Structure 1
Amino acid sequence: MNAQDGPTPVNPVSTVRAVLPSLTPAAQAIARLILDDPAMVARSTITEFSAISGTSEATIVRTARTLGFAGYSHLRFALAAAVARETQQRLVPGDLGPDDPLTDVIAKVARAESEALADTAAQLDPDRLGAVVEAVAGARRVDVYGVGASGLVAADMAQKLMRIGLCSHSFTDAHLALTSATLLRPGDVAAGVSCGGETPDVLALLKAARKAGATTVAITNNPRSSLAGLAEHVLVSAGRETVFRPGALASRISQLLIVDCVFIGVAQRTFDASEAALRATGETLGEFLADTRRRGR
């Protein structure tokens, strides 16, 4: 990602954390300093930061552009604004500790998830979202791939699309998923969900779907990941994983926000068919539940 690829990151810290694994060693050194002390970076001139980081000014500028900023001064401004928003709390909420009281657990989890939702919504490009919506709305079939916590997101996307009459499936068996991906055709859609964008199973499935001619979509925190590189359309989520939040609450909730936006967009574009499908499935489920209750008496 560079400054021309999309909107300026709203939360520079979450952006840095997401792309850190895919940066060069020199850029990683700069990124870790941003994560460790964003206020210090915001205060430092490029000459000062070059001395602190042990990297050249040119490397600092390139790294800032890689992160989605026009240059180092733009990055400093974003960091300063982010620090200013946090007058009484750290820029990033503290990780959950083994001795944290439940009151702190509630506050930290709620804040992490709220920030993930806000950051995802702010950086979700309407044009990119619209392209995905158009592809899904016109697809003969939609495959959604995810493993672990991302598999839950994939299942949610598939069942939502199925409720409005689309042929959509998620998979827990990699072999079955690979079979399905191989049989996709041009005009079909394959979506891969992965927080870091490097899950081997999801990469293999999206690669197979792409080879078959399907339109490929990535939902990931890392716009520089291998998954993003395989996809025609990339929707970037926000949120991070920690020791006590593996498979991450914040990452999952931000991915679900993207799924909901895709679902609503598709339902809007296929309104008559979607409304009829929702009404029909709702009536069928209602009749089933009523019959089940009667049998249970």
Structure 2
Amino acid sequence: MNCLTRISQYYNSFTKAERRIADYITQNPEQTVKLSIYGLASAAGVAPSTVTRFVHNLEYKSFNEMRIELVRNVDVKTVNDFNEILQWGNNKDDLNQHFLHNITSVCQEALNINRLEKFREAVSIIHRAKLVYFFGIGASSLIVQDLQQKLMKMHKCCIYNIDGNFGTQNAIMAGPDDVVVAVSYSGITREVNLAVQRAKENGCKVIAITRYGHTTLSELADICLFVPNVEQVTKVAAIFSRYAQLFIVDILFLNFVNESGEDPAKMLTDYRSLLLRLKE
């Protein structure tokens, strides 16, 4: 049962103050997912303790759990907006504006459902790892290659093969001193999950970039960086999910650079010098 449906069904049992919270969330779901408990309390004109009681009355364990569930409601609106874009293809101005709106929306939602601490924890594991093994095929291979190239320029050893069969073989070599970064929007890609499972059996830590929800990949991962459910798993092409995944990759990379304490320009000197020799 999604968040807005719960609010509707529990509405008659709420106190007057709780109904003010319910009304605000129902009318402003996109704004609510950006607020803290104190922010929602202020917006609804109630005490923070009332928000906490309201969350528990909806049978959520925490405010963050309710907010994540609410994001899924917002995701449905995003999908509907995408369908409208396809129908409005004859109007280029509308097409461009709605497309840009959805990109902004999906990136903001990616921030809302992932705590900053998760990025820092993931970066810390990558920073300490001897080798970084990447698993991802199809559209996800573009995301993997983007992060791989970024990390290698920062002198981080990475292993990736776009062929899923070779990826599974690579998993056999992954060990306790390494880390796996698996990318799969659906979370059910067989080649990726098989490789992740084998690496995990070897004692390897697993970081997953996948859609929000309970999937095989999210259950296997030690850390999940979630992408909003903005597209069907059986999509024709990855569009908005791709932007969300690349956004997550960029946040990971920026935090990695920050934690390394190194000057990125200085670290790229050898790389650029070698490239210049190719032009000689």
Q: With the length of structure 2 as denominator, give the TM-score of the two structures.
A: 0.71
CA distance in structure 2 between the partners assigned to 1:75 and 1:189 by the alignment: 27
Offset of residue 134 of structure 1: 0.7
Task: Tell me which residue corresponds to 1:44.
Answer: 8
Task: Tell me which residue corresponds to 1:113.
Answer: 103
Offset of residue 42 of structure 1: 8.2
RMSD over aligned CA atoms reads 3.4
Offset of residue 94 of structure 1: 4.3
- Deviating above 3 A after TM superposition, structure 1's stretches of 4 or more consecutive aligned residues are 64-70, 89-92, 242-247, 273-276, 286-289
Offset of residue 251 of structure 1: 0.6
| Alignment deviations for residues 129-180 of structure 1 (CA, whole Å, 9 cap, x no partner) | 1111011111111011112111110111111111111111222112211111
1:236-275 alignment, distance < 5 Å: 236-241=226-231, 246-272=236-262, 274-275=264-265
Offset of residue 217 of structure 1: 0.7
Unaligned runs of 5+ in 2: 13-56
- Kept after mapping to 1: 8 A contact 2:79/2:230: no
Q: Residues 246, 104 of structure 1: CA spacing in aligned structure 2 closer, same or farther, 3 A cutoff?
A: farther
Task: Tell me which residue corresponds to 2:267.
Answer: 277
- Kept after mapping to 1: 8 A contact 2:182/2:208: yes
CA distance in structure 2 between the partners assigned to 1:192 and 1:223 by the alignment: 16
Offset of residue 227 of structure 1: 0.5
CA distance in structure 1 between the partners assigned to 2:68 and 2:227 by the alignment: 20
1:97 pairs, out of 75, 80, 86, with 86
Q: Given residue 93 of structure 1, which amino acid in structure 2 is its aligned partner?
A: D
CA distance in structure 2 between the partners assigned to 1:144 and 1:110 by the alignment: 30
Unaligned runs of 5+ in 1: 1-29, 49-59, 83-88, 292-297
Q: How many residues align?
A: 232
Offset of residue 108 of structure 1: 2.6
Offset of residue 100 of structure 1: 2.2
1:95-244 alignment, distance < 5 Å: 95=83, 96-97=85-86, 100-101=89-90, 102-241=92-231
* 2:182 counterpart SS class: strand
Q: Residues 205, 67 of structure 1: CA spacing in aligned structure 2 closer, same or farther, 3 A cutoff?
A: farther
| Alignment deviations for residues 179-218 of structure 1 (CA, whole Å, 9 cap, x no partner) | 1111011120101111121111111111111112111111
Q: Residues 140, 199 of structure 1: CA spacing in aligned structure 2 closer, same or farther, 3 A cutoff?
A: same
Offset of residue 276 of structure 1: 3.4
Offset of residue 107 of structure 1: 2.3
CA distance in structure 1 between the partners assigned to 2:65 and 2:205 by the alignment: 29
Q: With the length of structure 1 as denominator, give the TM-score of the two structures.
A: 0.67
Offset of residue 65 of structure 1: 6.0
Q: Residues 91, 68 of structure 1: CA spacing in aligned structure 2 closer, same or farther, 3 A cutoff?
A: farther
Q: Given residue 152 of structure 1, which amino acid in structure 2 is its aligned partner?
A: L
- Kept after mapping to 1: 8 A contact 2:211/2:228: yes
CA distance in structure 2 between the partners assigned to 1:68 and 1:261 by the alignment: 21
Offset of residue 239 of structure 1: 5.0
CA distance in structure 1 between the partners assigned to 2:223 and 2:233 by the alignment: 31
Q: Percent identity?
A: 21
CA distance in structure 1 between the partners assigned to 2:267 and 2:173 by the alignment: 26
- Kept after mapping to 2: 8 A contact 1:194/1:202: yes
CA distance in structure 2 between the partners assigned to 1:142 and 1:113 by the alignment: 29
